[in-house]
Structure 1
């Protein structure tokens, strides 16, 4: 693959030839965004040329030119893998973080999408990707954020430029997760909502019709939620926790900016910690009892190897935790994942609405194990068949 740029025969990957020009002049510069306000609202940015190539702009890359839609997709975080899945390319993903874990988790939801399948098992685990492996994978696009990788791993700009020139472009945004600060040298950074970024990714794949169809499902779901939310005075207090082990529980805020809270922020539950605990903070039972939430949302509760009944029992059998209102009222509920893409987001909006407000949105079924519960058709907040048809490509555009 490293020699492709030297050949004269056109290939479906000629779009990587934008490489050095865009990377050095603007790909890693991005656009300036409002880092203290809400996410920016992007203008659809795909522009075509006479030879059939097209360009799409996204931060931090800037304008990226494609010769043709990518067919294989490198990802690092699951919001990008889910975007590829939503656009009918779930099985073209070549890499992702913790693939076996997230394959099991995502398939708990895919089970409720008729005729849809997904298999991410055995992929390269890309939390700390190496240049050598990216050459080997030879993916058509790197749906990942270099400003994020630069913050966490031992990469610098020449490394990103090399991969973009010799393999394929970078096209992803991850620091919109919670409006995190980029690494030094990446200060010009634009934040997007989940669906704003998904629209840009859909343009990169030339799948605007799929995006528009799924966005319509999302808009209808949000309208339903907004219309039924009770007054703020009647809303429960809640916390979100993740724990590989009950002795080390991490708390996450519910309403901070960014797509990690895209399924909790619109529902307006009260933060039981009242701002005293920041996201990704280790808490114990005493801290939880002091906050005394009405509802506990358990991240990863759907993962097949996580026993939610055992977690509930660990709370109920502890003399301190047993006094927490959520424990006494049996309101410890499963959640999926923080790095949600559009498909998981639809399910998480629905289930969190039911978990927080059963009177307004229908009772959430008691969940112990297995796939996302069967919800009676009249109590579903979005159309599973419509979503499945969009993923498989058998749908009428909006």
Structure 2
């Protein structure tokens, strides 16, 4: 559609966004740090079956779960409240990759119109997609939406903006009026991002802002897309994976100490927490490693080798280590060549392992739960191969912690 059509108030077939006056308060609110988790350890963000007060269920006449319906229907998510859809979304605007991965999981991966750093994340996600038979994903060349331009959203004309307006309005060029304009003239907003680490919303969004676990939000999004069957198939895989992990975890006192870092070079090493509330830790929190920093280092803190040696972790989890351009062998060597770094237990014992991304959706979460379980507890879950480059390792079938084919079939809709 043209921008002129929109500003003259001529609604499109998708201009059905209606913001509810109140978001249900049954779940966790802004500033809360406790509650149910949904990630396997009861620590933070709701149940996997979405039984919170604001369950985001969609009302409509689509009993076969096929995604086809001729009637409008409503779905609800914080901070938007109730949103009305005329039909299930096909093309999808996203800003962060937890939402892009949700679209991918629901069979709309190649219909994503925008995401942050599309070429980077296309390369990273395809390292994992390689292990899903018959599945393809192409995010290359999409609009890079870290600081989205309102005019570009009109041009993209996406069926839904799977992004959090409370985060969008943090950008200098955006305010609440801009968000409402796009919702009215292009398509609804339907996403939640401040649940990443339970960030505080700005005042205009603070009233009733609710935090969700990764899979709790995925269920709400799946219902908005009328894709209940895909969600249930993937949730079943996840429940089996979590059960396997819970059964194999050693007692807490026997677990390794660990830290998670990210670094483009050894001069600027950023440390990230492993068990704080929010979906950024949805692949480490269920595994319960002991924090080598013992809570003394906050998320995103720059640390030096002396600080890491003082913590002396048994395992170092290296974010971005599976990105195609990353040389994990070189990263390990860099640690070994620094005298202080070479003394760290994880370096001495060759336990620096790659990670994928913090802003994970359901598909990446399954892989990262498996890989991190193997990296932390090789005796319980099988050894993680010494990864240096290339796609996610071809784990022998009898050593896999989840069924790749079942995941691939769900994404393809072969249910």
Is 2:319 the counterpart of 1:299? yes
SS of 1:151's equivalent in the other structure is coil
Match of 1:109 among 128, 147, 155: 128
SS of 1:239's equivalent in the other structure is strand
Is 2:235 the counterpart of 1:215? yes
**Residues in 2 aligned to 1:241 and 1:251: alpha-carbon distance in whole angstroms:** 4
Q: Call closer, same or farther: CA 1:153–1:228 in 2, change over 3 Å.
A: farther
Is 2:364 the counterpart of 1:365? no
- Residue 5 of structure 1 and its aligned partner are, at CA, apart by 9.2
- Residue 150 of structure 1 and its aligned partner are, at CA, apart by 1.7
- Residue 152 of structure 1 and its aligned partner are, at CA, apart by 4.1
**Residues in 1 aligned to 2:292 and 2:379: alpha-carbon distance in whole angstroms:** 21
**Residues in 2 aligned to 1:287 and 1:74: alpha-carbon distance in whole angstroms:** 41
**Residues in 1 aligned to 2:178 and 2:6: alpha-carbon distance in whole angstroms:** 18
Is 2:64 the counterpart of 1:46? no
Is 2:79 the counterpart of 1:83? no
- For the aligned residue pairs, the C-alpha RMSD in angstroms reads 1.7
Is 2:23 the counterpart of 1:30? yes
Partner residue in 1 for 2:408: 388
Partner residue in 1 for 2:189: 170
* Preserved contact between residue 91 and residue 120 of structure 1 (Cα < 8 Å): yes
Runs of 5+ unmatched residues, structure 1 = none
Is 2:244 the counterpart of 1:245? no
* Preserved contact between residue 135 and residue 408 of structure 2 (Cα < 8 Å): yes
Partner residue in 2 for 1:186: 205
1:108-145 deviation line (CA, Å, top 9, x unaligned)? 00000001111101111000001111011111100000
- Residue 36 of structure 1 and its aligned partner are, at CA, apart by 2.5
**Residues in 2 aligned to 1:314 and 1:152: alpha-carbon distance in whole angstroms:** 37
* Preserved contact between residue 128 and residue 153 of structure 1 (Cα < 8 Å): no
- Residue 48 of structure 1 and its aligned partner are, at CA, apart by 2.4
What TM-score results when the alignment is normalised by the length of structure 2? Answer: 0.90
1:307-361 deviation line (CA, Å, top 9, x unaligned)? 1111100000100100000000000000000000000000000000000000000
Is 2:265 the counterpart of 1:268? no
* Preserved contact between residue 132 and residue 408 of structure 2 (Cα < 8 Å): yes
Match of 1:70 among 89, 94, 116: 89
Where do residues 348-359 of structure 1 align in structure 2 (5 Å cutoff)? 348-359=368-379
What TM-score results when the alignment is normalised by the length of structure 1? Answer: 0.94
SS of 2:198's equivalent in the other structure is coil
Q: Call closer, same or farther: CA 1:216–1:191 in 2, change over 3 Å.
A: same
SS of 2:325's equivalent in the other structure is coil
Partner residue in 1 for 2:344: 324
1:7-31 deviation line (CA, Å, top 9, x unaligned)? 99xx9x53423x4xx34x53xx634
- Residue 206 of structure 1 and its aligned partner are, at CA, apart by 0.5
- Residue 265 of structure 1 and its aligned partner are, at CA, apart by 0.3
* Preserved contact between residue 108 and residue 372 of structure 1 (Cα < 8 Å): yes
**Residues in 1 aligned to 2:332 and 2:8: alpha-carbon distance in whole angstroms:** 60
* Preserved contact between residue 57 and residue 224 of structure 2 (Cα < 8 Å): no
* Preserved contact between residue 315 and residue 352 of structure 2 (Cα < 8 Å): yes
SS of 2:204's equivalent in the other structure is coil
- Residue 246 of structure 1 and its aligned partner are, at CA, apart by 2.0
SS of 1:359's equivalent in the other structure is helix
* Preserved contact between residue 31 and residue 60 of structure 1 (Cα < 8 Å): no
